[in-house]
Structure 1
Amino acid sequence: MNLIHGSPVAVFCLTACFAWLNDASSADLAQRPSVVLILADDLGYGDVQCLNPERGKIATPNLDQLAQQGMTFTDAHTASSVCTPTRYALLTGRYNWRTRLQSGVLWGYSAPLIAEGRLTIAELMKQNGYRTACFGKWHLGMDLPTTGGPAPTVRKPKIVNIDWKGAIQNGPTDVGFDAFYGITASLDMAPYIYIQDDRFVGECEGGKGKSAMVRQHDFNTRDVLPEIGRKATEYISSQDGKQPFFVYVPLTSPHTPIVPSAEWVGKSGLGKYGDFVMQTDDVIGKILDAVDARGLSKNTLVIVTSDNGCSNAAKIPELQAKGHYPSAHLRGSKADLWDGGHRVPFFVRWPGVVEEGSRCDQTICQTDLIATCAEILGKELPENAGEDSVSFLPAFSGQTIRSSRAGIVHHSISGHFGYRQGNWKLLLARGSGGWTSPNEKAAAKAGAPFVQLYDMENDPGESDNLSSSHPEVVERLLAQLESDVARGRSTDGMASRNDVATIKLWKSGEE
């Protein structure tokens, strides 16, 4: 795969493709590209064979084929190294730490994180004539109906007072999706029950004293991944091509519980995690096959990525002992500030616009999806939307991304901050800022400095801390990070407000 450097043919193709956008009418709807956005859960950069040919041992034929059919982004990042905050940023184009969620994730009963009136990609697309649907793991909170009193707020409440026949509010169908089928959060969080649109599918058993086991009687965690795939493929297969659609498919795999279906057990030779990655690749392939079989591929933008790096629950040391490195050449994994926590697979396919087998090495963030979709539609985002989003549409034709953002903010599970600008990466942490050793406690005990600075071009494995030899770079990046936080946005535009009054940048002390 080669980086395209904006050939005249590619530029002409992109220009011609979007000539209709500025004056779209009802007749243009059929010409607008549909969008399929698939988000894997805890899939590491090195778990995809074509991204890690030397040290990757899991077969991922569908993702490899997708890379051959489109563009691979080699320096794509999530806004956080864990689930909920990444999903918030992906859908809204705004960093999660601007909300109440300063660290960690939400639970299965949690209240919604997306505020009323906050523009999402789904709402943007819906306003512009798209059908919109979501199938899979929501994990952004919703107001669950109760039999009395407030809904639970913790992961394992002592009493579960959910009204299983009541209507759910402020869930997916209230933030832009016409249809939803999936679950509230991760498969290691109750309640274990499907939701269709704004209603539970059945009722759960369990309650006082058994809150962690609140489950619909025939709900089986092993069936959820294939069920999500079936729902997504059925929806795509039902489209007639006359009205564009936006489908968001947040998968539940290969996140814990690691439960590959029986036919996948033993396929990888690396244990259940490898098997689950292979099944995830297969489900992605089935969704892409549905696009192709319906004759929609030529006018459908497909994006496949992950919400963060591989989790320690995959038993990374055991995988490495067998020759598989889930983070490839990168340091760290899920939850960390090091790149293994948030640099993720990112593939784009759009025949006639994105050249087959192409590659982009420019740095992007998943916050950029809403601005990219807006540019595809020929629309300007409102001042109070997508405050941290930059369109990477020019990269589709090999052009330089025109960014008003100085850099990208990284964030770990514990709320530690990092900042990437060009080749430089600043970490306001002593260690990983997450789960990988040394964590912050161990790094502090070892006397590690408060800050880390890496040259990502020459040291992508983040092994040589240059903070003491380049204090001027530390000072410059820190000042920019402070500005991006204080302004309520990292892009050009009117200053905005964060949802909280105080955001603590230094979690492990300050020099």
Structure 2
Amino acid sequence: MALLLAGAVSAKQPNVVLIFADDLGYGDVGCYGATKLKTPNIDKLAEEGKRFTDAHSSSAVCTPSRYGLLTGEYPFRANGGKGIWGPAPILSPLLIDTETVTVADVFKSKGYDTAVFGKWHLGFKEGKNDWQEPLSPGPQDLGFDYYFGMPVVNSAPPYVYVENTGVVGGDPDDPLVHLGRNAQGKATPITPIPPEAAQRSANQFKGAVEAHKQFNDFEVGTKLTEKATAWIESREGKPFFLYFATTNVHHPFTPAEQFQGKSECGPYGDFTQELDWIVGEVRKSLEKAGVADNTLIIFTSDNGGMFNLGGRAAAAKGHKINGDLLGSKFGIWEGGHRVPFIAWWPGKIEGGTVSDQMLLNVDLKATFAEVIGRELSADEKKDSISMLPALTGDPEKPLRTEMVITPHKPTHMAVRKGKWMYIPARSDGGFGGSKPNQHAWGGAAVTKLVGTPNSDIENGRIKKGSPPAQLYDLEADVNQTKNLFKENPEVVEQMKTLLNEYKQGKK
């Protein structure tokens, strides 16, 4: 198959579809090793495209990962250098400065139609979001022509859809009113879900009764897909960029009826199989629109898989959410941020290929810019590196040689250089749950749950006297079974210096 040289652009501008799954772990799809669930559409993308084995989210947490994706900037640099470390709260203002050149702005500058569907979770308005319309600034102030989706996350209120700057089904005479955490008995009713669907926060809003009625947890995946595919089919030949941020597979696990009970690992697996269906429907819409042959699809995830109730139930049935990787969502170990990443582009990417190039989601900004022939200034590039040569070819040398990854806790911000990963503290800096009644398990407790060994851990606890920090050789030991901190003091010092340079803004 003849491939385009890196940097070459076809005469007709290619369309770009970015499918950004939520909490999808490294081991959650067939082509990355899953056996207890079926993902034929995602696997087909890999069979006809390229699968990356060393791809990462810039953060192990949803909101900062999305910040990095859209801005091309490490999330620890956000907010005037204070960083973004956790999920955006319900009343969060817009977290991206509207003067920032985003991925969507890059496409707009070349005449593209742009849209975002699904989970936003980057805030709305300025100062504090009071949820009164218009919900602006928001996605349309960051380069997107159109937005439809879940404004925060599917486990947090308000349980309504937002379209552009308005609440779908909103009524000026019955507005959303935030009551806070003590809203029991006063909040507008929401869709009942079973206990096995896992945790969902109670509604904190009264009002907007009709808007709440239009939001059904079990219809979110299919609704977003209907909207996204209809948008694709209405482009009429104009080049487009679609950012589809699915709510699958974030808890609560509420797949549509047609997917319930279809996997071998409970609601978690069923919800993942609905995600696979979503990927298939997007491809069908590209075919229907007659643009599939001129479209680049990127499929990846915002962070690693999570061991909540549904995740633990899936693990008990033999499903390996993060494969054999150590750790999980929110944490700095590989299971928290090493994610599936598949690139599909007929005639440009050779099918069935695999790349071990180190790649970070902030790199999509520069990569997409090169795909469409848009030059980026150094200020616009920020931390982004074009990975197009790795998509369309097989470079002999690494395109990216180092990167910073952030977990939930700033104390565990870590640096990778070549094969070495340095973590300046014990454990993973993520969730701390370890008991059946606790929602979010993390750290050492997860290693016992899923059987991932680590030299600093015994019986689900950090050993007394373990090293104060961690160093791993990911070429020899991608599953991080052996902490080499004591054996390599010189490397530790080099990595510590490098990390400090990033923290001090020297890099």
Quote the residue 1:202 is aligned against: 169
Q: 2:478 is matched with which residue?
A: 460
Please report how far the alpha carbon of residue 16 of structure 1 lies from its aligned counterpart in structure 2 after TM superposition. 9.2
Pick aligned residue for 1:108 from 87, 90, 93: 90
1:428 counterpart residue number = 424
Taking a change above 3 Å as real, the CA distance of residues 46 and 333 of structure 1, as seen in their structure-2 partners, is same
Matching residue within 42, 49, 60 for 1:63: 42
Q: 1:375 aligns with which of 366, 370, 374?
A: 370
Aligned to 1:438: 444
Q: In the alignment, which residue of structure 2 is the partner of 1:24?
A: none
Contact 1:205–1:217 under 8 Å retained in 2: no
Deviations 1:154-209 (A, max 9, x none): xxxxxxx532xx21212000000011111211011111221111222223566435
- Does the CA-based 8 Å contact 2:467-2:486 persist in structure 1? no
Partner residue, 1:387:
382
Shift in CA distance, 371/401, structure 1 to aligned 2, threshold 3 Å: farther
Counterpart of 1:132, as a letter, is: T
The one of 419, 439, 460 equivalent to 2:415 is: 419
1:399 paired with 2:381, answer: no
Residue among 333, 341, 349 paired with 1:346: 341
SS of residue paired to 2:376 = coil
Residue of structure 1 in register with 2:112 after alignment: 130
5 Å matches for 1:291-330?
Answer: 291-330=286-325
In 1: Cα distance, 2:143 partner to 2:373 partner: 19
Question: Structure 1 residues 16, 102: CA separation in 2 closer, same or farther (over 3 Å shift)?
Answer: closer
TM-score scaled to structure 2, two decimals? 0.84
Cα separation, 1, equivalents of 2:84 and 2:115:
28
In the alignment, what sits opposite 1:481? Answer: 499
Shift of 1:400: 2.0
- How far has the Cα of 1:237 moved from its partner? 1.2
Query: Which string of whole-angstrom CA distances, capped at 9 and with x for unpartnered residues, describes residues 397-421 of structure 1?
Result: 3332877854011111122211111
SS at match of 1:192: coil
Q: Which of the residues 212, 216, 219 maps onto 1:223?
A: 219
Residue 35 of structure 1 corresponds to which residue in structure 2? 16
Per-residue CA distance 1:469-503 (angstroms, 9 max, x = gap): 11111111222222233336x5xxxxxxxxxxxxx
Q: CA deviation at 1:134?
A: 0.6
- Equivalent position to 1:276, from 259, 271, 282: 271
Cα deviations by residue, 1:73-116 (Å, 9 ceiling, x for unpaired): 11100000110000000011101111134421102321111012
Alignment partners' CA distance in 2, 1:75 and 1:248: 22
Q: Tell me, what secondary structure is at the counterpart of 1:58?
A: coil
Indicate if the aligned counterparts of 1:80 and 1:410 stay in contact, CA closer than 8 A: yes
CA contact (8 A) 1:109 1:184 kept: no
Give the C-alpha shift of residue 70 in structure 1.
0.5
Q: Which residue of 2 aligns with 1:494?
A: none
Deviation at 1:264, TM superposition (A): 1.3
Could you tell me which of 231, 237, 250 is aligned with 1:235? 231
CA distance in 2, matches of 1:338, 1:457: 15
Superposed displacement of residue 317, structure 1? 4.0
The CA distance in 2 between the partners of 1:217 and 1:376, in whole Å, is 40
Q: How does 1:492-507 map to 2 (within 5 A)?
A: none
How far off is 1:278 after superposition?
0.6
- Identity fraction in percent: 40
Deviation at 1:224, TM superposition (A): 1.3
Q: Which amino acid aligns with 1:222?
A: F
Bigger shift: residues 188-197 or 401-410 = 401-410
Q: Partners in 2 of 1:270 and 1:418 — Cα distance?
A: 33
CA shift, 1:283, in A, is 1.1
Match of 2:404 in 1: 409
Contact map agreement 1:108 1:184 (CA 8 A) in 2: no
2:47 counterpart SS class: helix
Distance 1:355 1:406, change over 3 A: closer
| TM-score between both structures, scaled by the size of structure 1 | 0.83
**TM-fit CA distance, 1:122:** 0.2
Other-structure match for 1:97: 76
CA distance in 2, matches of 1:276, 1:387: 35
CA contact (8 A) 2:60 2:329 kept: yes
Return the alpha-carbon distance in structure 1 between the equivalents of residues 150 and 485 of structure 2.
44
CA distance in 1, matches of 2:17, 2:387: 17
Greater Cα shift, 225-234 or 382-391:
382-391
Contact 1:40–1:305 (Cα < 8 Å) also in 2: yes
1:128 alignment partner AA: K
Deviates more, 1:422-431 or 1:34-43: 422-431
Native 8 Å contact 1:316 1:325 kept in 2: no
SS in 1 for 2:299: strand
**1:172 and 2:139 matched:** yes
Please report how far the alpha carbon of residue 254 of structure 1 lies from its aligned counterpart in structure 2 after TM superposition: 0.8
Question: Hey, what does 2:157 align to over in structure 1?
Answer: 190
CA distance in 2: counterparts of 1:477 and 1:190, whole angstroms: 41
SS of the residue 2:444 aligns to? coil
User: What corresponds to 2:66 in structure 1?
Assistant: 87
Q: Does 1:337 align with 2:318?
A: no
Q: Report the secondary structure of 2:219's partner residue.
A: helix
Which whole-Å CA distance do the structure 2 matches of 1:51 and 1:294 have between them?
30
* SS of residue matched to 1:272: helix
After superposition, the Cα gap between the structure-2 partners of 1:409 and 1:94, relative to the gap in structure 1 and judged at 3 Å, is: same
Q: Does the C-alpha gap of structure 1 residues 432 and 192 become closer, same or farther in structure 2, counting only changes over 3 Å? A: same
The answer as to whether partners of 2:266 and 2:310 remain within 8 angstroms in 1 is no
2:87 partner SS: coil
Shift of 1:449: 2.3
